[in-house]
Structure 1
Amino acid sequence: GYDKLVQFCRVSAADYDVSLAWMDTICIDKQSTSELDESIRSMYRWYAGSSICIIFLANTTSLVDLPHDRWFTRGWTLQELLAPPRFKFYAKSWTTLTPIDILNDKPSRSMWNVNPSHIHNILAEVTGISFTEMQHFIPGAQSGDFSRRMTWAAKRTTTRGEDRAYSLMGIFSVTFPIAYGEGVERAFFRLIEQILHSHRNVLDILNWAG
């Protein structure tokens, strides 16, 4: 609610000297079909273009709680792990889970020769995404990647069924109009259709489907 917005703006300015911030639960007018459509189709790009993604974990007080936070079960949060160049986890008290002088909780390319930290090992275990995959993620469905990426999303849930497909647009570097009410099967059909048009990795898709 309001307190979350205030705290988000506070840490954005105080910890990262950010003057402009965007919050998914506040900055999308869901009553406007056109704005909702544009936001969903653009969200991955916005995260990728951000200087930092601040991740608030409402169920977490310390690193011990991290693997059990509901954030890791939500469909929309997968792109928050993969798209931004940097992210930082904040516990429910709005304190950081790692020292604030460590400005990035995401495995980065500059860490290529550095052993994964404790938080990175936790992330790899709970998400199924390896240290290297998180470092070097490129959106799309390159050969052999489709099935792997679908497993990352398989156990995640969304409030609206169609969002299970819509939330993967950016992951696979495709876009198509949203149509709530079409049902999850139709939404996934259109997702696969767009992936085939863009990447044509038919065998990998058939392996996943089978």
Structure 2
Amino acid sequence: MRLINVETYEIETFMGDAVPEYSILSHTWSQDEVSLHDMQDLDLAKSKKGFRKIEYCCQQARADGWNFAWIDTCCIDKTSSAELSEAINSMYRWYSNAMSCYAYLVDTEVRSTQEFLELLVPKAKGKKRFLPRWFSRGWTLQELIAPFDLQFFTVDWVCIGSKRALKGAISAVTGIPASVLDHSKNVYTYPVASRMRWASMRSTTRSEDLAYCLMGIFNVHLPLLYGEGHRAFIRLQEEILKTTNDHTLFIWGLLSEARYQVAVGLRQRQEKLTGMVAQNPRDFQDTPVWIRSTLVL
């Protein structure tokens, strides 16, 4: 595992139990990010726009008492398919093991927790909700759930609250139960269909990542095959079926009220059903919040 030394900005490598305590950054990618190769020339790295959040993260880690930080843009050698595959398969664990996670909301400029709450859940009647892009991306789903301690920061690195303090509002806008956000209940105890529903309104740049970003949520592993398109999501479901008897994975296709009462609440599908498994997490967006993993087909 590669980590940034928050004092020197050097990239150091650790193996197995030798990995020290570290903080971790959660963010959305943009143009001019800093790569692992860029970090070999610190002057070059600092000239890029993406270095700003690296600097913010390292400064915060130092303030919190951590000597190292992990940031996906510059701690993974993306020219190595083997390393990229290992990193993506390890991502959930890395976020879970982090001492602190900093969620950087690059499109948010509020100055307080209360202002942030007002953006997420407006009190004024008719006022439109503003949802930072971070809440709509596929990769940030596991980055929201996995860490025990997660703090939100604005574009200017103003801390606007923690996941635990904001769990009610976050639950309201994401559909993720507060008990998952505060870790009072294990995420793996929730039905497969419920976890799929949490991802149903999120998107990724590459279609394969809609599957790869969910591996940790379901505690499964997959080889990365970029170029396979939506087949990746089918492989994900096949792997899930190997590890659980939870048949709610098939609820997306239940359109008969006679077979299961929940069909009353599902929107009528216009597309043709294609097989037992879903084609996209969006197929689960109508899953009832009360669904249990005891569905019998």
Q: Determine if the TM-score, normalized by the shorter chain, exceeds 0.5.
A: yes
Mapped to 1, the partners of 2:199 and 2:239 lie a distance apart of 18
What does residue 194 of structure 2 align with?
Answer: 148
What does residue 197 of structure 1 align with?
Answer: 242
Mapped to 2, the partners of 1:35 and 1:157 lie a distance apart of 24
Q: Quick one: structure 1 residues 59 and 65, their matched pair in 2 at CA, closer, same or farther if it must change by over 3 Å?
A: farther
What does residue 78 of structure 1 align with?
Answer: 141
Q: Quick one: structure 1 residues 2 and 149, their matched pair in 2 at CA, closer, same or farther if it must change by over 3 Å?
A: same
Q: Quick one: structure 1 residues 169 and 29, their matched pair in 2 at CA, closer, same or farther if it must change by over 3 Å?
A: same
What does residue 226 of structure 2 align with?
Answer: 180
Which of 42, 48, 58 pairs up with 1:9?
58
Alpha-carbon distance, 1:200 to partner: 2.6
Alpha-carbon distance, 1:137 to partner: 4.6
Whichever structure has more helix as a proportion of its residues is 1
Matched, 1:52 2:100: yes
Contact in 2 for aligned 1:139/1:170 (Cα 8 Å): no
Q: Quick one: structure 1 residues 133 and 2, their matched pair in 2 at CA, closer, same or farther if it must change by over 3 Å?
A: closer
Write the letter of the residue equivalent to 1:31: T
Write the letter of the residue equivalent to 2:235: R
Task: Provide the TM-score with structure 2 as the length reference.
Answer: 0.61
Contact in 2 for aligned 1:139/1:173 (Cα 8 Å): no
Give structure 1 regions of 4+ aligned residues with deviation exceeding 4 angstroms.
Answer: none
Whichever structure has more strand as a proportion of its residues is 2
Alpha-carbon distance, 1:133 to partner: 2.9
Contact in 1 for aligned 2:105/2:153 (Cα 8 Å): yes
- 1:38-187 to 2 correspondences below 5 Å: 38-62=86-110, 63=116, 64-66=118-120, 67-98=130-161, 105-107=162-164, 117=165, 119-135=166-182, 136-140=184-188, 142=189, 145-184=191-230, 186-187=231-232
Mapped to 2, the partners of 1:4 and 1:71 lie a distance apart of 14
Alpha-carbon distance, 1:81 to partner: 1.1
Per-residue CA distance 1:97-118 (angstroms, 9 max, x = gap):
03xxxxxx123xxxxxxxxx5x
What does residue 101 of structure 1 align with?
Answer: none
Alpha-carbon distance, 1:13 to partner: 0.8
* Alpha-carbon RMSD: 1.5
Gapped regions of structure 1 (runs ≥ 5): 99-104, 108-116
Alpha-carbon distance, 1:24 to partner: 1.5
- The alignment covers a number of residue pairs equal to 189
Contact in 1 for aligned 2:138/2:199 (Cα 8 Å): yes
Gapped regions of structure 2 (runs ≥ 5): 1-49, 111-115, 121-129, 255-297
Alpha-carbon distance, 1:91 to partner: 0.6
Task: Provide the TM-score with structure 1 as the length reference.
Answer: 0.85
Q: What is the identity percentage for the equivalent residue pairs of Structure 1 and Structure 2? A: 42
Q: Quick one: structure 1 residues 178 and 121, their matched pair in 2 at CA, closer, same or farther if it must change by over 3 Å?
A: same
Q: Which has the higher contact order (CA 8 A, sep 6+)?
A: 1
